Structure 1
Amino acid sequence: MTRSTDVQTALNEYWTQRSVPYDEYQQRPDRKDLDLAAWKQVFADALGTAPLDVLDVGTGSGYVACTVAELGHRVTGIDLADGMLGRARRHADAMTTPPTFLRGDAVAPDFPANSFDAVVNRYVTWTLREPDTALANWLRLLRPGGTLAVVDSTWFARGLHEGASDQFKSFYDEDVRQALPLAESTTIEPFVDRIRAAGFVDVEAVALTRLHELDLEYGVAPNHEVLTQYLIRGTRP
């Protein structure tokens, strides 16, 4: 049986190696402003306008954390991939009211209970080891009435290694694949079901049609295909 530490080490190393091209792709000048406007709308709709204490788990290069901070929220972003944190801090240095970026585990964030009004992430749940543990911890971190807002899709419905790069397959090997129960979901429902099972209420998945339109018009990253992305939102009772 693969230990969770071994799995997480592989994930950390992969995303550190990918941090520069991943971040640069998100900053593509041909669609940068359109993307930012679309993502601001996604999280404005999810979180509302009143300033909140927000935790971005698995923040990566900080795209969502910075976007949410620009909406006026007080944001903390955590990640275990040091390369990604380096990119996130570069973006924060250019902001007037930046997020705080810390090294931390998305599955087990090290904060007291009831610390945040919202927990957010993007493209994280598919690659979570122990997603049920993670969701239970996110629920614990939220104040009553707090919001969970995550974005993901069925990226690997045909199999985790189908069409993948050699670099991806070397880190997301068979042991890692077996440790990621949501990675090969064929619909968004398993994500929704686990969020409900964790104790969140009023859970719904909303298709992000504007992002889909932008992907159709401008294309997507190598080894990816145009898929519908979903915002899954839930509330702590």
Structure 2
Amino acid sequence: MHDNRIKNEIACRWDTYAETYDSFVSHGVQTEEEKKLWVDAFLKAIDQDMKNLTVLDVGCGTGAIGLIFAEMGCSVTGIDLSEKMMETGRQKAGERGLAMKFISVDAEYPPFPGNEFDIVLSRHLLWTLPHPIEALRSWRRILKPGGKSLVIAGVWDDGTLKTRILKSMSTTLGMIFDPVHVEKLTYSSELRQHLPHLGGISEEDARYLFEQAGFQNIRVYDLRNIRENQKKRSLWFEELTPLGTYYLISGTKRE
């Protein structure tokens, strides 16, 4: 399957998901309480004054995370393959009076000059990239010396029989009782063969990817508190699905 076909299918799948994406508790940042938990996590990982930092939100989608950085005083650019996801993001930015830019480019090979950004961040993206190490190398290239890459990831499906059964039960019950709020995003079997981390990425694998991409001072921060906060707003059938691991991993470009 050629890279262009892979990226086109991914873009089309997320385009169809744009209208409902923020309605899911694991995607949209729905309360001020949850937003504060995200802010606290970012402040801990970045550990410096956030004012006027240049931030690239890779795979920005509807801007759920990038807009938090904009509220914190950063200059934020978001990139994504899905124009419809970014349309929602532009509308949210306008409603909140925030100046976040949205550009349609490939997340794996963003066409920016080297040493451009203080922070390159992504959330829920690395699992859906066919070339994750190449992506991280590209992100390191466009970071300023001393800049950081922040990746929010986790394991959504550990491949065990128990997890498969619980996820299937959750989806089936959701389709019966509340079909509007059931996640229906699916990839073709052909595409799935080209995504090495389809079920999510363990902390160990994430560390390996960061090391191979050339990052230094790699650190992992547990985000279980955010998952637990989100679970308070989960629909009853969603609670059948195991929480799995959830974390933020950061790496620094050598000065």
2:118 is matched with 117
Identify the range of structure 1 (71-80 vs 214-223) with the bigger mean alpha-carbon deviation: 214-223
Q: Distance in 2 between matches of 1:115 and 1:100?
A: 15
Of 220, 224, 248, the residue aligned with 1:205 is 220
Letter in 2 for 1:130: H
Q: 2:250 aligned with 1:233, yes or no?
A: yes
Q: Distance in 1 between matches of 2:197 and 2:71?
A: 31
1:130 is matched with 131
Deviation at residue 29 of structure 1 after TM alignment: 10
Work out whether residues 209 and 228 of structure 1, in 8 Å CA contact, stay in contact via their aligned partners in 2: yes
Q: Distance in 2 between matches of 1:157 and 1:69?
A: 34
1:115-149 CA distances to partner (integer Å, 9 max, x unpaired)?
Answer: 10110011011111211111110010001100011
Q: Distance in 2 between matches of 1:204 and 1:28?
A: 23
Deviation at residue 46 of structure 1 after TM alignment: 2.2
Deviation at residue 184 of structure 1 after TM alignment: 2.9
2:59 is matched with 58
Work out whether residues 23 and 87 of structure 1, in 8 Å CA contact, stay in contact via their aligned partners in 2: no
1:32-55 CA distances to partner (integer Å, 9 max, x unpaired)?
Answer: 222211112222222332321110
2:177 is matched with none
Deviation at residue 60 of structure 1 after TM alignment: 0.5
1:35 is matched with 34
Letter in 1 for 2:50: A
Q: 2:193 aligned with 1:193, yes or no?
A: no
Partner secondary structure for residue 218 of structure 1: coil
37 and 186 in structure 1: CA distance in 2 versus 1, 3 angstrom threshold:
closer
Q: Distance in 1 between matches of 2:188 and 2:231?
A: 30
102 and 31 in structure 1: CA distance in 2 versus 1, 3 angstrom threshold:
closer
Work out whether residues 58 and 106 of structure 1, in 8 Å CA contact, stay in contact via their aligned partners in 2: yes
Work out whether residues 109 and 138 of structure 2, in 8 Å CA contact, stay in contact via their aligned partners in 1: yes
The share of aligned pairs that are identical, in percent, is: 29
Letter in 2 for 1:40: V
Letter in 1 for 2:121: V
Alignment of 1:105-184 (within 5 A): 105-158=106-159, 162=164, 163=167, 167-169=184-186, 172-184=187-199
201 and 93 in structure 1: CA distance in 2 versus 1, 3 angstrom threshold:
same
Partner secondary structure for residue 185 of structure 2: helix
Deviation at residue 227 of structure 1 after TM alignment: 2.5
Work out whether residues 212 and 228 of structure 1, in 8 Å CA contact, stay in contact via their aligned partners in 2: no
Partner secondary structure for residue 113 of structure 1: coil
Letter in 2 for 1:111: F
156 and 39 in structure 1: CA distance in 2 versus 1, 3 angstrom threshold:
same
Deviation at residue 95 of structure 1 after TM alignment: 2.8
Work out whether residues 182 and 190 of structure 1, in 8 Å CA contact, stay in contact via their aligned partners in 2: no
Q: Distance in 1 between matches of 2:68 and 2:15?
A: 21
82 and 204 in structure 1: CA distance in 2 versus 1, 3 angstrom threshold:
same
71 and 8 in structure 1: CA distance in 2 versus 1, 3 angstrom threshold:
same
1:80 is matched with 81
Q: Scaled by the length of structure 2, what TM-score is found?
A: 0.83
Identify the range of structure 1 (27-36 vs 88-97) with the bigger mean alpha-carbon deviation: 27-36
Letter in 2 for 1:219: S
Q: Distance in 2 between matches of 1:219 and 1:76?
A: 30
- Alignment gaps of 5+ in structure 1: none
Q: Scaled by the length of structure 1, what TM-score is found?
A: 0.89
Q: Distance in 2 between matches of 1:212 and 1:27?
A: 8
1:52-99 CA distances to partner (integer Å, 9 max, x unpaired)?
Answer: 111000001101110011111111000010110111101110233321
